[in-house]
Chains A and B, each alone.
Chain A
Amino acid sequence: NAGVTQTPKFRVLKTGQSMTLLCAQDMNHEYMYWYRQDPGMGLRLIHYSVGEGTTAKGEVPDGYNVSRLKKQNFLLGLESAAPSQTSVYFCASSSNSMRQSFYEQYFGPGTRLTVT
């Protein structure tokens, strides 16, 4: 049981390049999330998904796109990277169970992205 995994762990992009970050979870969770973490700002939600084939915008969605073609995978895309997207990106998943004992988020290890 690997939990939540993210690839790659590190990446350096030039301005204007594109890339896709992959998040995978093996806990059969319905909900998945992408956050970015910047110093002094906590984690901010970029996009999230409440199930296979569905996505929704979070707090800071501009410049990012996502897809959830399979329940276990949640992809985050940058079509044209900008220096302002330099950040650490975290993926998370959670169960849709209403049982409170199951109610929490599980996080991946993060991807450190630098855009020059």
Chain B
Amino acid sequence: AQSVTQLDSHVSVSEGTPVLLRCNYSSSYSPSLFWYVQHPNKGLQLLLKYTSAATLVKGINGFEAEFKKSETSFHLTKPSAHMSDAAEYFCVVSVILTGNQFYFGTGTSLTVIP
């Protein structure tokens, strides 16, 4: 079985400071991992994905995430927050071999303070 835990429901940072959104996963197989972003009243947009290639994954808008198997983590980071980063972020785990089901975390709401 697969599951995802997003460790913080809310994160608040000042503009220009680093962003860290934490995600831990559980999977019986080698997982694929994703981060999606949802701006207010919008749909979901893929930020980045890990599918067993390089463990450090770069995404759009300066975000990146590192897959750490020993820690079962896939934390999302950005060196310098921008006001436009304020949104809801979802970590997602899936396993290609088990029928393309995707399991969502409960989300982290990011606030960026001017």
Hey, which bits of chain A sit against chain B, CB under 8 A? 31, 33, 35, 40-45, 48, 50, 90, 92, 94, 96, 98, 100-101, 103-105, 107-110
Query: Is the beta-carbon distance between B46 and A104 smaller than 8 angstroms?
Result: yes
Across-interface contacts of A41 in B (CB, < 8 A): 106
Q: A31, A100, A108, A109: which contacts B100 (Cβ < 8 A)?
A: A31
With A48-B101, A90-B43 as contacts: A104 and B34 at CB distance below 8 Å? yes
Hey, which bits of chain B sit against chain A, CB under 8 A? 9, 32, 34, 36, 42-46, 49, 51-53, 90, 92, 94, 96, 99-102, 104-107
Instruction: Give A23 to B100 CA distance when docked, in angstroms.
Output: 18
| Count of chain A to chain B residue pairs whose CB atoms are closer than 8 Å in the complex | 55
Query: Is the beta-carbon distance between B49 and A104 smaller than 8 angstroms?
Result: yes
Query: Is the beta-carbon distance between A105 and B102 smaller than 8 angstroms?
Result: yes
17 CB-based A-B contacts, threshold 8 Å: A40-B9, A40-B106, A41-B106, A42-B90, A42-B104, A42-B106, A43-B44, A43-B90, A43-B104, A45-B101, A48-B101, A50-B100, A90-B44, A101-B51, A103-B49, A103-B94, A104-B34
Give the nearest-CB partner of A44 in chain B: B104
Task: Pick the 7 closest A-B CB pairs, nearest first.
Answer: A100-B51, A42-B106, A42-B104, A107-B44, A43-B104, A109-B43, A31-B100
Across-interface contacts of A109 in B (CB, < 8 A): 42-43
Instruction: Give A44 to B92 CA distance when docked, in angstroms.
Output: 12
Query: Is the beta-carbon distance between A100 and B53 smaller than 8 angstroms?
Result: yes
Query: Is the beta-carbon distance between B32 and A108 smaller than 8 angstroms?
Result: no
Taking the nearest CB of chain B, how far is it from the CB of A11, in angstroms? 15
